[in-house]
Amino acid sequence: MADRAALEEAVRLQGERVRGLKLQKAGAELIEEEVSKLLKLKAELGSDEGKQKFVLKTPKGTRDYSPRQMAVREKVFDVIISCFKRHGAEVIDTPVFELKETLTGKYGEDSKLIYDLKDQGGELLALRYDLTVPFARYLAMNKLTNIKRYHIAKVYRRDNPAMTRGRYREFYQCDFDIAGQFDPMIPDAECLKIICEILSALQLGDFLIKVNDRRILDGMFNVCGVPDSKFRTICSSVDKLDKMSWEDVKNEMVEEKGLASEVADLIGAYVKQHGGVSLVEQLLQDPKLSQNKLALEGLGDLKLLFEYLTLFGITEKITFDLSLARGLDYYTGVIYEAVLLQTPTRQGEEPLGVGSVAAGGRYDGLVGMFDPKGRKVPCVGLSIGVERIFSIVEQRMEASEEKVRTTETQVLVAAAQKKLLEERLKLVAELWDRGIKVDIRKENLVEEIRRRTSQYPPHLLN
């Protein structure tokens, strides 16, 4: 028994060592070595014969949805789906896992966050990381050249969950995408219109949608003198401007990523700018940027976009923000991110955190990566970050002390005496057959009345 205890302790220590290395972002080889040591120790520990294990938890980073949370979720999805349908989208679904090869090479550094399935002798599989890559695979597989679809489903990322901020390892995404070759910026404008409609309908308070363009970013880096090899890493530094101050971001770029100080300053002058269509006009006149072909393309498209957004009546919610540099690798054109301006908090709790509630962009190269002939299908889309919205709506409901009707029970059939059971069953069956919702209880009347008032069923049949 002492050996076993020692072994368990060794497993625990080794597990901590591995976690520590991962946090420090140590070299991949070192981590692998320590992980295999851990696996060996675990194997030695072996199976526990006969001992009952009472593991009463969901896996790390996941949670059950209680009936109350399901009611919130249903409400939120209803709003979102009705908006997607209003815009003429069809719906599809894909399997929860894909062939590992389908997901490989699509997520850049984030690939290490993918959940793999165990090799059990068949195909190598992995849980989907988002709904966009499966969509691209679906288009290529079915040789579709245009479709407007929405997809609401859970995705999986082995992130470090920060559950107070509504960040989990298993979470819902609500995606809407338009695939196909169309006249420029019209579908892109529709996506922004949809985000506005949804966020307004959900009544989450005031919000703002930041817009930028991958080509403007890359053009800007180019004219500032960022070496090509550093583009992506500088991009991810710039992306942190919404969480860190410019001084800290500049420090990261110069000290950690080896960027020349003057180059950083030039970037700084640009990325601090944000505004409406007038900023687009201004930059089109910018002496440096206007020499860069890529930036010009991006600025030209943004100008057109703003025209359409004006026609859609949503420009007061849109801001052109040069510091928007979203994480994923596959965006090729316009990118956008919606943030709530006032994160509601409960008494004494940390604010829900700065963070987006919706985001998206154009990604013209993704489908071609799947097609055997490399045929391109341009795509633009958006993803609503519902988990954060669930938290907000749930908090808001609690705050207003609104009772969520978790059942739609309309009638409580009361029985004053036990002998009335038979009659009650018959009556209940009749009501069910007529589609009236009924809940049988067998406790006494007083109890029932008390319960009824706490559940607010519309009337009591006596």
Partner 1 sequence: MQRLGPLSREAWATLTLQLLRPPCAGASLLSPRVLGGLVQPPAREFAEARLKIQLESDKEKSNFVIKTPKGTRDLNPQQMAIREKILNAVIRCFKCHGAKGLDTPVFELKEVLTEKYGENSRLIYDLKDQGGELLALRYDLTVPFARYLAMNKIKKMKRYHIGKVWRRENPSINQGRYREFCQCDFDIAGQFDPMIPDAECLKIIYEILNTLQLGDFLIKVNDRRILDGMFAVCGVPENKFRFVCSSVDKLGKMSWKDVREEMVGKMGLASEVADCIGDYIQQHGGGSLVEQLLQDPKLSQNKLALEGLRDLKLLFEYLTLFGITEKIIFDLSLARGLDYYTGVIYEAVLLQAPTRQGEEPLGVGSVAAGGRYDDLVGMFDPKGRKVPCVGLSIGVERIFSIVEQRMEATEKIQMTETQVLVAAAQKNFLKERMKLIAELWDAGIKAEMLYKKDPSFLSQLHYCEETGIPLVAIIGERELKDGVIKLRSVASREEVDIKRENIVTEIQRRTCES
Binding residues for L-histidine: 130-132, 157, 173, 177, 326, 330-331
Is 227 a binding residue for partner 1 by CB under 8 A? The answer is yes
Give the x/- contact pattern for partner 1 in 297-336, rule: CB under 8 A. Answer: -----------x--xxx---------------xxxx----
Give CA–CA dist 268/264, Å, rounded.
6
* Residue placing its CB nearer to partner 1 in the complex, 279 or 334: 334
Joined tokens for residue 306: 């703003």
Q: Could you say which of 30, 45, 70, 461 contacts partner 1 (CB under 8 A)?
A: 70
Question: For residues 83 and 197, is the Cβ–Cβ distance under 8 A?
Answer: yes
Q: Which of residues 232-291 bind partner 1 (CB under 8 A)?
A: none
Closest CA relative to residue 202, chosen from 321, 309, 312, 344: 344
Is 191 a binding residue for partner 1 by CB under 8 A? The answer is no
Q: Could you say which of 13, 30, 45, 186 contacts partner 1 (CB under 8 A)?
A: 186
Is 77 a binding residue for partner 1 by CB under 8 A? The answer is no
Q: Could you say which of 183, 247, 401, 402 contacts partner 1 (CB under 8 A)?
A: 183
* Residue placing its CB nearer to partner 1 in the complex, 138 or 207: 138
* Residue placing its CB nearer to partner 1 in the complex, 244 or 369: 369
* Residue placing its CB nearer to partner 1 in the complex, 141 or 354: 141
Measured from the CB of residue 331, what is the shortest distance to partner 1 in angstroms? Answer: 6
User: Residue 7 is inside which H or E element, if any?
Assistant: helix 2-23
Joined tokens for residue 340: 């709530």
Among 212-220, 242-250, 264-272, 385-393, the segment contacting partner 1 (CB under 8 A)? 212-220
Give the x/- contact pattern for partner 1 in 119-158, rule: CB under 8 A. Answer: xx-xx-x-x---------xx-xxx------x----x-x-x
Q: Could you say which of 28, 46, 229, 348 contacts partner 1 (CB under 8 A)?
A: 229
Among 189-197, 202-210, 272-280, 394-402, the segment contacting partner 1 (CB under 8 A)? 189-197
Residues whose CB falls within 8 Å of the CB of residue 190, separated by 6 or more in sequence, listed in order: 87, 178, 312
Residues whose CB falls within 8 Å of the CB of residue 59, separated by 6 or more in sequence, listed in order: 169
Measured from the CB of residue 438, what is the shortest distance to partner 1 in angstroms? Answer: 7
Start-to-end CA span in the chain (Å): 64
Question: For residues 175 and 150, is the Cβ–Cβ distance under 8 A?
Answer: yes
Instruction: Please tell me the number of Cα atoms within 13 Å of 437 on its side-chain side.
Output: 7
Measured from the CB of residue 207, what is the shortest distance to partner 1 in angstroms? Answer: 17
* Residue placing its CB nearer to partner 1 in the complex, 284 or 369: 369
Per DSSP, 401 falls in state T
The neighbouring-strand residues paired with 382 are 176, 360
Question: For residues 356 and 337, is the Cβ–Cβ distance under 8 A?
Answer: yes
The neighbouring-strand residues paired with 100 are none
Give CA–CA dist 107/103, Å, rounded.
8
Extract the annotated binding site: 130-132, 157, 173, 177, 326, 330-331
Cα separation values, 259 from 225, 253, 272, Å: 10, 6, 18
Among 2-10, 98-106, 270-278, 382-390, the segment contacting partner 1 (CB under 8 A)? 98-106
Is 117 a binding residue for partner 1 by CB under 8 A? The answer is yes
* Residue placing its CB nearer to partner 1 in the complex, 274 or 451: 451
Q: Could you say which of 374, 398, 416, 462 contacts partner 1 (CB under 8 A)?
A: 374
Measured from the CB of residue 454, what is the shortest distance to partner 1 in angstroms? Answer: 15
Q: Which of residues 28-57 bind partner 1 (CB under 8 A)?
A: 35, 38-39, 42, 52-57
Q: Could you say which of 25, 118, 419, 459 contacts partner 1 (CB under 8 A)?
A: 118
Joined tokens for residue 453: 């008032």
Question: How many residues are present in the chain?
Answer: 462
Give CA–CA dist 168/418, Å, rounded.
48
Question: For residues 384 and 356, is the Cβ–Cβ distance under 8 A?
Answer: no
Residues whose CB falls within 8 Å of the CB of residue 295, separated by 6 or more in sequence, listed in order: 215, 216, 218, 219, 220, 222, 223, 283, 289
